[in-house]
Amino acid sequence: MICIAGNMPILQVGKYQITNYDTFWIRRAIETAAKKANQTNLLFLDDVYDAITYYLEHKCSLRLLAIESLFERISHTLKRIGCEAIANALVIESPPVTISLERAASEAGNGFELSFYKIIQDEIRALQKLGAREVFFSDMRESVLTLKQAKQWCPQCQQLENDILLWLKNAGTQPERQGYRIRCYIEKIKI
């Protein structure tokens, strides 16, 4: 059974489904569009943002909502209230997405580190096209063990973990450890 916090619909971002998300990124997308449209005096921005979050939590009958569909609805709403310039400048942005490194390692196969990096690179590119600005990578330890075909952590595992972090850093993602996850900013990188 899926439990949806706050009764928000599940968001479909590419092949990822996101639940239990904050909505700050919606506000940021509208503010960015307003700046692009030279509409910096938005006294009603809070009202628009509140209306969108109210719709998501109370009025949206869909249990699964594609990110593209959500932004079409936001654009339509902005046009209906006379903010066509902002609606035309609106660009899709998604909430943070979590990518399992263990799944990528399993797809790549034992010992195929180059395939692993290619899978991660392709996923980052796909998410960038869908407006992702940041991603979280999970399951680092499990992915390293899979790639190294090891049952226990060893010096070679530590080296591979360092190599993965260096690859992320060299890709321009600004990796930052947050407990068991690694937070990366991907909005402006080119890989």
Q: How many CA atoms lie within 13 A of 144 on its CB side?
A: 19
Report CA-CA distances (Å) from 83 to 36, 42, 45, 72, 88. Answer: 13, 10, 11, 14, 9
Report CA-CA distances (Å) from 169 to 59, 95, 165. Answer: 42, 21, 6
Sheet of 134-138, strand order: 97-100, 134-138, 181-185, 176-178
Token pair, residue 67, equals 């990110």
Q: Quote the pLDDT of residue 2.
A: 41
| Coil vs helix vs strand at 1 | coil
Report CA-CA distances (Å) from 51 to 25, 47, 61, 110, 173. Answer: 15, 6, 15, 49, 33
Q: Quote the pLDDT of residue 140.
A: 93
What are the counts of helices (DSSP H) followed by strands (DSSP E) for the chain?
A: 8, 7
- Characterize the bridge pairing of strands 176-178 and 134-138: unpaired
Spell out the per-residue pLDDT of the chain, length 191, in tens.
343 456 889 999 999 999 888 899 999 999 999 999 998 767 778 888 899 999 899 888 889 999 999 999 999 999 998 889 999 999 999 999 999 999 999 998 766 888 999 999 999 999 998 889 889 999 999 999 999 888 999 999 999 999 999 999 988 888 898 888 999 998 766 66
Q: Quote the pLDDT of residue 82.
A: 87
